[in-house]
Amino acid sequence: MKSTKELQKRRRALLSALSSTTPIYHLFDCIEHVSFFAKDREGVLLAANQYLVELYEFRTETELIGHTDFDLLPRRLAEKFRRDDLQIMERRKPVTKIVEIFLNRQGIPSWFITSKYPILSKANQVLGVMGIIQDYHQSHELFSGQQSMARVMNHLHAQFRKKLSIPQLAEMGGISLRQFERRFKNHFNLTPQQYLIKLRIHESCDLLMQPNLKIGSIAIDLGFYDQSSFTVQFKKAMGLTPLQYRKQFL
């Protein structure tokens, strides 16, 4: 095996010799339910793999590039993503495994796990942000090889409307509360309580599209203390209040 110094030299030579037309990021198309994107400092999309292209219902990457989140998403959600991007560029540090609700071009909510990295030039200047978006519904099966944890996840998804005890969930998994929370954090970058809230928020998106249901009733039915606490959590996740979200569909 070559020395570390020699390997680093070879690595730098390979990376510096890459053609700008080498579509490395299209390798993500070989992984199901994973999107890749790259934006410049102004938030303009300049690269995307085919999965992301089709998520926004375009046919080719050429048709998608040049757009911004403000062209593709509800304004308040686009504003949230822009704030996230600016923070990453300012701090020059990545943000990984963020579980968040994402809206497609039609405003239909779905869950994704997002990881973003700043794009740095050879002169160490920030050029923009790149990242991957993974379909959350595929990722939540990460515990499938651990029967006890898989049982807990199934119970959580079936009973999220009810008042659930996190210590009891840990007991169901046959591990300590500390281990349970650590495993959750490692897999989802969320605490069990945060995960539970996101389940409820996701369900509320469907219920809010039914104008005959009162927002206060939705809040109580989903296990929130009251409408006010529901509104706080919904706005934190979606970037707008439940009423503002509902008005988009009336």
pLDDT in tens, 91-105: 999 998 877 766 554
Q: Is the dihedral of CA 57, 48, 50, 187 positive or negative?
A: negative
Mean pLDDT for the chain overall: 83
Q: Is the pLDDT of residue 145 over 70?
A: no
Tell me, what's the pLDDT at 233?
92
DSSP 3-state assignment of 136?
helix
Tell me, what's the pLDDT at 223?
92
Tell me, what's the pLDDT at 231?
95
DSSP 3-state assignment of 174?
coil
Q: Could you give phi then psi for residue 234, rounded to 5 degrees?
A: -65, -45
What lies within 8 Å, CB to CB, of 90 at 6+ separation is none
Region 211-220 average pLDDT: 94
Q: How far is CA 204 from CA 133, 136, 155, 197, 211, in A?
A: 22, 17, 19, 10, 12
Tell me, what's the pLDDT at 44?
94
Q: Is the pLDDT of residue 90 over 90?
A: yes
Residue ranges and CATH numbers for the domains of the chain are: 4-137 (3.30.450.20), 146-247 (1.10.10.60)
Q: Is the pLDDT of residue 139 over 70?
A: no
Tell me, what's the pLDDT at 136?
65
pTM for this model (two decimals): 0.63
Region 156-165 average pLDDT: 88
Burial degree of 212 (CB within 10 A; 0-12, 13-18, 19+): exposed
Pair 107, 126: CB distance under 8 Å: no
pLDDT per residue as tens digits for the range 56-73: 889 999 999 999 999 987
**Window from 4-13, 161-170, 171-180, 237-246 with minimum mean pLDDT:** 4-13
Helix locations, 21-165, DSSP H? 50-55, 61-64, 69-72, 75-91, 136-139, 147-159
Distance spanning both ends of the chain, measured CA to CA: 65
Region 144-169 average pLDDT: 82
For 131, the enclosing helix (H) or strand (E) is: strand 126-135
**Model confidence at 89, in pLDDT bands (50, 70, 90)?**
very high
Tell me, what's the pLDDT at 18?
63
pLDDT per residue as tens digits for the range 1-57: 557 778 788 877 776 776 667 678 888 888 877 889 999 999 999 999 998 998 888
Neighbours of 114 (CB within 10 A): 21
